[in-house]
Amino acid sequence: MTTSPLVTVFGSLHYDIAVNGPGRPRKGETVIGVSWHPKSGGKGGNQAVSSAHTGVPTAMIGAVASDDFGRSLVANLDRKGVDSRFVRRDALLSTGMSVAIFDAEGDYGAVIVSGSNLTLGNEDVAAAGEVIGKTTILVLQSEVPDEANVAAATAVRQAGGRVLINAAPARMLSQELQSAVDIIVVNAIEAEMLAGVPVVETLAGALVAARLLTRTYSQAIVTAGGAGVAYADAGGTEICIEAVKIKVESTHGAGDEFIGVLAAALATGTDMEAALRRANEAAARLVSTPEASR
């Protein structure tokens, strides 16, 4: 494997529609919105853009449809400096998309339609052999099939790279995928599912969850929202970093910003504590920026 840093993101691309309103609707309720705007997204796409923004070479392996949404997503990757050559165009399904509804406090709920993201698999890994063999850090999420993640992780590790998974949305991972992951990053909700115990969204609670996750993964990172982030590894190293105090404008995309910046820092050989601090600060800057200004 080359010694030059390369982050490769294998995963989801969604065309997002963001809706702003006074609150999110309850069951059976209609809420009058204030505004809406389109946005290129998907956890994979967001993380690739965040990584590329740091200046570290970043490639995206994904799938979109041959439709306007798909063309828009690929064009966005190109504009943001992400290598999009290995984003496949699927002629049969629609491009993945989501609708996110933001309340007046900047918090949100979203509905995702996966579409072409669910077609990712072994063929996409094989077709991207040029970047797989050079990858320093592979970034995965849980928005594509488990077996596709296994194929990508196995190929990168065989080539000498490391694998980081942002296990979101929350779902159980196969034993095969667990064995192919070097670093797992989750929030408190995801940690609760994977660790099998209640997780309090505090630094102390996040650290307890990270310790439990090292029974399965060699390195575990648990983010705790406004409290900060905790890290533990199988060798006994533990790190706790408090969140940067800012005025929250929108929490949308904060986790993806954290992942992209973290992966880029690790790819360049930055030590874990410094990489976590860099990612923590980047996420804080994003959260303090109004959604429409990003």
Residue pLDDT, tens place only, 172-224: 999 999 999 999 999 999 999 998 888 888 999 999 999 999 999 999 999 99
Q: Which amino acid is at 258?
A: F
Q: Which two tokens stand for residue 84?
A: 């999009």
Would you say residue 290 has pLDDT above 50? yes
> Are 41 and 253 within 8 A, CB to CB?
yes
> Are 230 and 238 within 8 A, CB to CB?
yes
The percentage of the chain sitting over the pLDDT mark of 70, rounded to a whole number, equals: 98
What does the mean pLDDT of the chain come to?
93
CA torsion sign for 59, 64, 67, 69 is negative
Would you say residue 47 has pLDDT above 50? yes
Q: Which domains does the chain have, with CATH numbers?
A: 7-13+41-94+118-181+244-293 (3.40.1190.20)
Would you say residue 16 has pLDDT above 90? yes
According to the model, what pLDDT value does residue 195 have? 87
Would you say residue 291 has pLDDT above 80? no
Residue pLDDT, tens place only, 58-75: 999 999 999 999 999 999
Residue 225 backbone dihedrals phi, psi, to 5 degrees: 55, -130
Q: Whole-angstrom Cα distance, residue 44 to residue 188?
A: 20
Would you say residue 2 has pLDDT above 50? no
According to the model, what pLDDT value does residue 250 have? 73
| CA dihedral of residues 172, 177, 180, 185 (deg, nearest 10) | -30
According to the model, what pLDDT value does residue 197 have? 83
Q: Which two tokens stand for residue 147?
A: 């077996």
Residue pLDDT, tens place only, 97-119: 999 898 888 788 889 899 999 99
> Are 112 and 143 within 8 A, CB to CB?
yes
The DSSP H or E segment spanning 150 is helix 146-158
According to the model, what pLDDT value does residue 102 have? 87
Alpha-carbon Rg for the chain in angstroms: 18
Q: In the structure, what pLDDT confidence band is assigned to residue 1 with cuts at 50, 70 and 90? A: very low
Q: Check residues 246 and 88 and name the one with the higher pLDDT.
A: 88
Q: Check residues 250 and 119 and name the one with the higher pLDDT.
A: 119
Q: In the structure, what pLDDT confidence band is assigned to residue 293 with cuts at 50, 70 and 90? A: low
How confident is the model over 155-159, as a mean pLDDT? 98
> Are 53 and 260 within 8 A, CB to CB?
yes
Q: Whole-angstrom Cα distance, residue 132 to residue 136?
A: 9
The percentage of the chain sitting over the pLDDT mark of 90, rounded to a whole number, equals: 79
Q: Whole-angstrom Cα distance, residue 274 to residue 214?
A: 20
Q: Check residues 245 and 84 and name the one with the higher pLDDT.
A: 84
